[in-house]
Amino acid sequence: MTPILAFAALMLASATSAFPFGFPDCVNGPLSNNTVCDTTADPLNRATALISLFTTEEKLNNTGSVSPGVARLGLPPYQWWQEALHGVALSPGVNFSTSGNYSYATSFPQPILLGATFDDALVNSVATIISIEARAFNNDGRAGLDFWTPNINPFKDPRWGRGQETPGEDPFHLSSYVRALIDGLQGGYAPKYKRIVATCKHWAGYDLETWNGNFRYQWDAPISTQDLVEYYAPPFQTCARDSNVGAFMCSYNAVNGRPTCADPYLLQTILREHWDWTNEQQWVVSDCDSIQNIYLPHGYAATRPQAVADALNAGTDLNCGTYYQTYLPAALEQGLINITTLDRALIRQYSSLIRLGYFDPPDVQPYRALNFGDVNTPQAQQLAYRAAVEGIALLKNDGTLPLSITPETSIAMIGDWANATTQMLGNYHGIPPYLHSPLWAAQQLNVTVNYAAGDSSPGNPTTNNNLHVYAAVNKSDIIIFASGIDNSVEAEDRDRHSIAWTGNQLDLIGQLAAYGKPMIVLQMGGGQLDSSPIANNPNVSALLWGGYPGQDGGLAIMDILTGKKAPAGRLPQTQYPADYNAQVPMTNMSLRPGLNNPGRTYKWYTGKPIFDFGYGLHYTNFSASINPLEATTFNISSLVTGCNERYMDRCPFHSLSVNVTNTGETTTSDYSALGFLTGSFGPRPYPKKSLVAYQRLFDISPGATATAVLNLTLGSLSRVDEMGNRILYPGDYAMMIDTQPLAMLNFTLVGEPAMLDQWPQPPPRVPQNNTGNYFVGGFDGTGQSVVYS
């Protein structure tokens, strides 16, 4: 009963409200003479001095996301849980005003659409604005200083409900994106004062919500070391090793038998040691209640105190929830943790706040001067609009687009996305200053608009209530059908069970196409749908994918449709045929094809995708050429000898200049040069190709040429072996520009393979404990039930 009694006392302490956010008084408060308030001391010493004042009870009480602080020391309570996925977002630590100032913040497109821009500079700008607005909120006491964003798990399976939160399926793309993002959020690699602390989540292997009775809280993901290094880890490696991110979040799931928040291999051996993520202010937070999950339902720890001890000892410094606060006392009493480990966790947290200026005079910190005048600026509005324009991908066009419209034109706006409001935001959103739907944007044109939502939303395919749709279409010249999926179908805790358009949607599209009028279909939502019935219908003029385009999404769409803007977004995910759903269970974590797995992502999928990763049309055509290298054969030993980086994959190989020419006659357009490497090198099987570099070029006029510079590193050329080692192999390489290659460059590596990175080997799989409870996994078609006990 001891834990239960202890729980009662601590719940009250931890329930303290954290609003409004305040700063400690380093001038007159009890801490004013403590080293923590000495701005000349280094952060580690400052944090250590602070924590040394805490009693053990005060230490234990400050291990949860709602930290009560220490009133007797003048240390205010602090709420660690803020969200800002694509703008300052609704979350426990963010307090939007009900009206007026701070009642809204800029709402950018979801990451899945930001990813589709293939424009890292844009991503950096977006992140900069988000963090500036976050600081403004903080200065008004309306938010903390750390934010639990980005979600950077690769979007491997199209059914994943949270794939929308990520930039897509490709690990290089995610890595490149996240480096730009974190630089923007934190205000540089190692600024004196961080703008905010970002949190790379969810380390590792989290890409399943609830699928066929498998729940994220109990799911034990079987991941080979090769897949981990090659696919699941790279964005996190970039966060930790290359971006100096302030925080990490461990995940709900287990990997190979160990809940990630209790796994010293993932949190210490890989994250902190192998990736050198050892600055004093870098902390790991659990996902919300995922420490509880170590006990239940994972059943990894036999008792609750053991669960919290396992997490703290593994390196989970902060608990989203109350489990640490509740059960660490018993863990300490039972000798399962020691004070040093507890201190380490607290020092990491408070060092982080020190790096954010929490204990420093406001007047020396430029971010402390930000206010609501820095929120929703015209520049921010314009950027949100531009981000949507840049991401939207044109998948089909028979020449109907861009639309020719006159004041006499009538447009039917059909579908459940036509008049979208918060749908456009996806999840983890804030409150935007406005929401401009496609319908709204059409109504700003000098045309007649006939709107009918139709009954095309996912669900019951038997609806037959579309009279008003036929009426609207009958009197219109042009049909714009906006539908797809939204968070009623894909969301947190909600994976999809189908990747087909629902029957009633296809039926209605088919009926409307039969009118023979110009008809544009907008496929909205994060995860891809099999749009082949639309692509193959000769009466559908055009198809665009619009993701979750944010506050100005409708305007971005209509400006592309009417030619005010030219589309140049690219699909950040493979669009699989609908039967992919039946071919592979979500629980199969392997990338390479095998039993019950036709292969995952464009690298390994053995079937024919409907639209390939990176696919996207323009209103013009482009040609490309790659400036030749001085040589076509390279000796591995020379490449390696010239490399003095600790992490050799970072060493440059060559920068390729890619000249891109707009061969059209009318339309100025952006173009994202995507560089894919293919060839025969390294361990079989070979991937079909791999993205290794990209650059978006802007505003290329008809006839004009622009040059993209694709920087290849030794890492770009490397492969990963079954032990997870990254190796440069001899073999034939080919660099291709674009999905249907516009240019190709061949070269050869010769010599002996060279190890660029030796991967620490995982410990053996843990035998399952027995907590007396048991939890049985779901149906995955193998007939094998995993009993978690």
Applying CB under 8 A, does 62 fall inside the site for a second copy?
no
Q: How far is the CB of 159 from a second copy (least distance, A)?
A: 9
DSSP string, 744-756: EEEEEEESS-EEE
The CA distance from 327 to 1, in Å, is 12
Closer by beta carbon to a second copy, 110 or else 322: 322
Interface segment toward a second copy; rule CB under 8 A; list 18-26, 444-452, 693-701, 771-779:
771-779
Q: How far is the CB of 514 from a second copy (least distance, A)?
A: 8
Judge contact between 587 and 211, C-beta under 8 A.
yes
- What's the half-sphere exposure (Cβ side, CA atoms, 13 Å) at 292? 11
Q: How far is the CB of 184 from a second copy (least distance, A)?
A: 32
The CA distance from 365 to 368, in Å, is 6
Judge contact between 83 and 148, C-beta under 8 A.
yes
Interface segment toward a second copy; rule CB under 8 A; list 1-9, 309-317, 374-382, 394-402:
1-9
Judge contact between 67 and 77, C-beta under 8 A.
yes
Q: How far is the CB of 94 from a second copy (least distance, A)?
A: 22
Judge contact between 726 and 649, C-beta under 8 A.
yes
Q: How far is the CB of 247 from a second copy (least distance, A)?
A: 21
For Cα atoms 687, 690, 692, give the angle at the middle one, nearest 5 degrees: 155
Closer by beta carbon to a second copy, 7 or else 686: 7
Q: How many residues does the chain have?
A: 789
- What's the half-sphere exposure (Cβ side, CA atoms, 13 Å) at 374? 20
Interface segment toward a second copy; rule CB under 8 A; list 141-149, 233-241, 436-444, 772-780:
772-780
Q: How far is the CB of 114 from a second copy (least distance, A)?
A: 29
Give me the sheet containing 199-203, strands edge to edge.
199-203, 247-250, 283-285
Interface pattern 296-325 for a second copy (x via CB under 8 A):
xx-----------------------xxx--
**Torsion 364-368-370-371 (CA) sign:** negative
Token pair 């690219």 is found at 570
Closer by beta carbon to a second copy, 6 or else 113: 6
Judge contact between 520 and 479, C-beta under 8 A.
yes
Applying CB under 8 A, does 516 fall inside the site for a second copy?
no
Interface segment toward a second copy; rule CB under 8 A; list 97-105, 113-121, 640-648, 781-789:
781-789
Applying CB under 8 A, does 293 fall inside the site for a second copy?
yes
Applying CB under 8 A, does 538 fall inside the site for a second copy?
no
Applying CB under 8 A, does 781 fall inside the site for a second copy?
yes
Rg (CA), the chain: 27
Applying CB under 8 A, does 510 fall inside the site for a second copy?
yes
Q: How far is the CB of 206 from a second copy (least distance, A)?
A: 15
Question: Which runs of consecutive H residues, i.e. helices, occur in 549-651?
Answer: 553-561, 580-583, 601-604, 636-641
Closer by beta carbon to a second copy, 64 or else 154: 64
Output the 3-class SS for 483-521.
EECCCCCCECCECCCCCECCHHHHHHHHHHHCCCCCEEE
The residues assigned a catalytic role are 287
Applying CB under 8 A, does 606 fall inside the site for a second copy?
no
Interface segment toward a second copy; rule CB under 8 A; list 338-346, 550-558, 637-645, 774-782:
774-782
Applying CB under 8 A, does 776 fall inside the site for a second copy?
yes
Interface segment toward a second copy; rule CB under 8 A; list 179-187, 284-292, 422-430, 437-445:
284-292
Applying CB under 8 A, does 210 fall inside the site for a second copy?
yes
Applying CB under 8 A, among 347, 452, 478, 506 the residue interacting with a second copy is 506
Widest Cα–Cα separation across the chain: 80
Applying CB under 8 A, does 213 fall inside the site for a second copy?
yes
Interface segment toward a second copy; rule CB under 8 A; list 30-38, 575-583, 648-656, 751-759:
575-583
Applying CB under 8 A, among 280, 490, 670, 780 the residue interacting with a second copy is 780
Applying CB under 8 A, among 166, 269, 457, 504 the residue interacting with a second copy is 504
The CA distance from 706 to 320, in Å, is 48
Helix (H) / strand (E) containing 411 = strand 410-414
Interface pattern 479-498 for a second copy (x via CB under 8 A):
--------------x--xxx
- What's the half-sphere exposure (Cβ side, CA atoms, 13 Å) at 630? 4
Interface segment toward a second copy; rule CB under 8 A; list 107-115, 211-219, 564-572, 682-690:
211-219
Written as six digits, the tokens of 651 are 């060493």
* Pairing status of strand 633-635 against strand 754-757: unpaired
The CA distance from 553 to 86, in Å, is 13
Q: How many residues bind a second copy (CB under 8 A)?
A: 65
Applying CB under 8 A, does 264 fall inside the site for a second copy?
no
The CA distance from 567 to 402, in Å, is 10
The CA distance from 134 to 635, in Å, is 49
The CA distance from 170 to 181, in Å, is 16
> CA distances (Å), 333 to each of 6, 14, 107, 327, in order?
12, 20, 47, 10
Closer by beta carbon to a second copy, 435 or else 500: 500
Closer by beta carbon to a second copy, 109 or else 305: 305
Applying CB under 8 A, among 470, 563, 607, 731 the residue interacting with a second copy is 470
Applying CB under 8 A, among 334, 404, 511, 770 the residue interacting with a second copy is 511
Closer by beta carbon to a second copy, 209 or else 552: 209
Applying CB under 8 A, does 581 fall inside the site for a second copy?
yes
Closer by beta carbon to a second copy, 142 or else 298: 298
Cα dihedral value 438, 439, 443, 448, nearest 10 = 120
Written as six digits, the tokens of 431 are 């409150």
Output the 3-class SS for 670-681.
EEEEEEEEEEEE
Applying CB under 8 A, among 11, 369, 709, 766 the residue interacting with a second copy is 11
Closer by beta carbon to a second copy, 215 or else 747: 215
Site for a second copy in 449-468 (CB under 8 A): 460-464, 467
Applying CB under 8 A, among 579, 645, 732, 752 the residue interacting with a second copy is 579
Written as six digits, the tokens of 305 are 């105190």
Question: Which runs of consecutive H residues, i.e. helices, occur in 629-780?
Answer: 636-641, 714-717
Q: How far is the CB of 630 from a second copy (least distance, A)?
A: 50
List interacting residues with a second copy (CB under 8 A). 4, 7-8, 11, 210, 212-213, 215, 217-218, 288-290, 292-293, 296-297, 321-323, 326, 460-464, 467, 470, 493, 496-498, 500, 503-504, 506-507, 510-511, 530, 533, 578-579, 581-585, 596, 772-787
